[in-house]
């Protein structure tokens, strides 16, 4: 009967027991939370190191891909030497209106590091190879800084509905050979490789064509992988 104190005492005892067990549960959970909080800096440090190691691995893979492309494209058989440069421009996504430089090599330091990171898809020999027949070969004996050279290039590129490159050139090129690369699986164009030389006749075009034809699967695979890595590592802005 609730007219006696017995039910109330029983209720109080039950609440006391529940409170005791609940208090112990809360203390255990608090101890666990404190332990997790104490481990958090260590976990964050481990995560940071893991991310750094992962980034270093991807960077090393990127350099390996570049070394492989250099080995294939810059052999002595192609005529490649310190007066030459090879670059690969890739359309990174289907909505891009520019080609992005993902690979460049030259034994001449300034030729290797200077130049534009992106090119409009309708500009220069790269645009001519990308837009039209997949290849563009231009030679000119006039000095690259002369009006005669400019007029010659304007005619060559105008025939392909492409514009002259804007600004100063980073290399006094007299011979250009640009060729589009196609995805082995889809057949779609994915990039353009362009060889340059400061002397006409320096490049062995037949050998370059043979290498690109015989090793097309490896070249395009390396270019696709390098393009994906470039999307992660590339700066958001660069010299245009």
Pure H helices in the chain? 6-73, 109-113, 124-131, 147-158, 205-214, 216-233
Residue with structure tokens 């082995």? 184
pLDDT digits (tens, 9 = 90+) for 77-135: 999 999 999 999 998 877 888 899 999 999 998 898 877 888 999 999 999 999 888 99
State the pLDDT at residue 187: 82
Residue with structure tokens 């940071």? 48
- Give the residue ranges of the chain where pLDDT is below 50: 1-2, 235-240
The residues with which 197 forms a beta bridge, in sequence order, are: 84, 175
**Separation of alpha carbons 114 and 177, rounded Å:** 19
Q: What angle do CA 45, 50, 54 make, to 5 degrees?
A: 150
The residues with which 178 forms a beta bridge, in sequence order, are: 136, 194
98-to-2, 101, 119, 240 alpha-carbon distances in Å: 85, 10, 5, 11
State the pLDDT at residue 9: 58
**Separation of alpha carbons 109 and 85, rounded Å:** 10
């Amino acid at each position: 009967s609730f007219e006696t104190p017995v039910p109330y005492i029983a209720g109080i005892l039950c609440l006391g027991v529940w409170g005791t067990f609940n208090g112990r549960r809360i203390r255990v959970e608090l101890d666990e939370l404190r332990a997790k909080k104490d481990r958090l800096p260590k976990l964050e440090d481990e995560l940071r190191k893991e991310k750094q190691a992962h980034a270093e691995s991807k960077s090393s893979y990127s350099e390996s891909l570049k070394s492989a492309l250099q080995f294939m494209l810059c052999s002595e058989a192609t005529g490649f030497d310190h007066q030459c440069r090879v670059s690969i421009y890739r359309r990174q996504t289907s909505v891009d209106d520019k080609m992005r430089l993902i690979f460049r090599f030259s034994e001449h330091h300034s030729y290797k590091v200077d130049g534009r990171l992106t090119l409009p898809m309708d500009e220069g020999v790269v645009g001519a190879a990308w837009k039209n027949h997949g290849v563009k070969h231009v030679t000119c004996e006039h000095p690259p800084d002369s009006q005669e050279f400019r007029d010659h290039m304007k005619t060559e590129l105008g025939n392909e509905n492409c514009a002259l490159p804007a600004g100063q050139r980073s290399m006094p090129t007299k011979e250009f050979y640009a060729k589009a690369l196609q995805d082995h699986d889809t057949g779609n164009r994915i990039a353009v490789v362009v060889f340059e030389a400061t002397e006409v006749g320096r490049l062995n075009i037949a050998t370059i064509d043979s290498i690109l034809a015989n090793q097309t699967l490896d070249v395009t695979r390396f270019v696709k992988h390098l393009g994906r890595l470039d999307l992660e590592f590339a700066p958001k802005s660069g010299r245009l």
